[in-house]
Amino acid sequence: MPSFTVTAAGQRVNLGISGAAQASFTVTNTSTQTLKGRMLTRPSDPAKPEWFSVVGESVRDFAPNAAEQVVVQLSVPQTAPPGAYSFRLDAVSEVDPDEDFTEGPSVAFDVVEQAPPKKKFPWVPWWILAIIGAVVLAIIIGVVIWLLVRDGGSEATVVTSGTGTLRGTWLWDADAGAEVNTGPPADMWWEQQTAVLRRMTPRNNATLVNLGVVDFDAVDADQLSKLTYTATPIPGNADASNQLVNGDVFAVHSTDGNFAKFKVLTYGYNLGIQWVTYRISG
């Protein structure tokens, strides 16, 4: 029997004008022992995973027969096609995620096409428009000059890029853009602890940060240089807790001081990956 039950406060939520809403759930530990449970949002097609997030900690400690209120934040972009959508909240035991999990009830919501209001452009004398145009042009010129002459400017160059395969138990050198099977100069290790437990582990003073399923091409060198990197491994377990899903993007601050972005193309014992490594100078 599953250790958790999941109930929803309602079967439907209404999106606000901005596409935001919250759905409340009650997750109960029905067992007689203290358990650590992970809350996972599960959208139904064609809803997108990035529309949903658990407010607060997604992994929580549950006392015996204790209940937790879990709130899911919906952030649906205004570009989403109109239609009926749904999602659910699942509770997974961290002790036995493959066998001990509970699927919550579906919660529905509608995306309605928003007709843009018709606006009449007010009549403005030409000389006011001319003044506004001159001021805007002066501001643009000033910004361009400031960007050209400011101190501390930096320049990013691509060290290596491409697609490839990182095999289970092997290591990767982000600076060389190559798989290696020994320690230095490896930056990360596709560690296989068991048949299920897997993780991407930093090596040799390299650090990592997981960005989730985001636009890989939109992540540039400047953004990579401003992220907060840590020595904490990224979970890649072959179960519901896996963060290295297809489309996931994570970043590496390498042992040589470079910055790299990686995209998971295919998840498995062997990872299909795409990467770009940048050197930032100046």
Lowest mean pLDDT among 160-169, 182-191, 258-267: 182-191
Q: Which tokens sit at 104?
A: 């919550």
Lowest mean pLDDT among 35-49, 79-93, 149-163: 149-163
Q: Under a CB-based contact definition with an 8 Å cutoff, are residues 277 and 256 in contact?
A: no
Average pLDDT of the residues of the chain: 92
How would residue 116 be classed by pLDDT, with cut points 50, 70 and 90? low
pLDDT of residue 255: 94
Q: Under a CB-based contact definition with an 8 Å cutoff, are residues 46 and 83 in contact?
A: yes
The pLDDT of 257-271, averaged and rounded, is 97
pLDDT of residue 75: 95
What is the phi/psi pair of residue 56, to 5°?
85, -155
For residue 183, pLDDT over 80 is answered with no
How would residue 77 be classed by pLDDT, with cut points 50, 70 and 90? very high
Work out the burial of residue 209: count CB atoms within 10 Å of its CB; fewer than 13 is exposed, 13-18 middle, 19 or more buried: middle
Q: Under a CB-based contact definition with an 8 Å cutoff, are residues 191 and 200 in contact?
A: yes
The pLDDT of 87-116, averaged and rounded, is 91
For residue 144, pLDDT over 90 is answered with no
Q: What is the percent of the chain with per-residue pLDDT over 90, rounded to a whole number?
A: 81
Helix (H, G, I), strand (E, B) or coil at 186: coil
CB contact set of 243 (below 8 Å; sequence gap of 6+): 210, 212, 234, 235, 236
| Model pTM score | 0.48
For residue 74, pLDDT over 80 is answered with yes
pLDDT of residue 177: 94
How would residue 181 be classed by pLDDT, with cut points 50, 70 and 90? confident
Q: What is the percent of the chain with per-residue pLDDT over 70, rounded to a whole number?
A: 94
Helix then strand then coil, % of the chain, to nearest 5: 10, 45, 45
Beta-bridge partner residues of 136: none
For residue 117, pLDDT over 70 is answered with no
pLDDT of residue 121: 57
pLDDT of residue 94: 93
Distance from the first to the final alpha carbon of the chain? 60
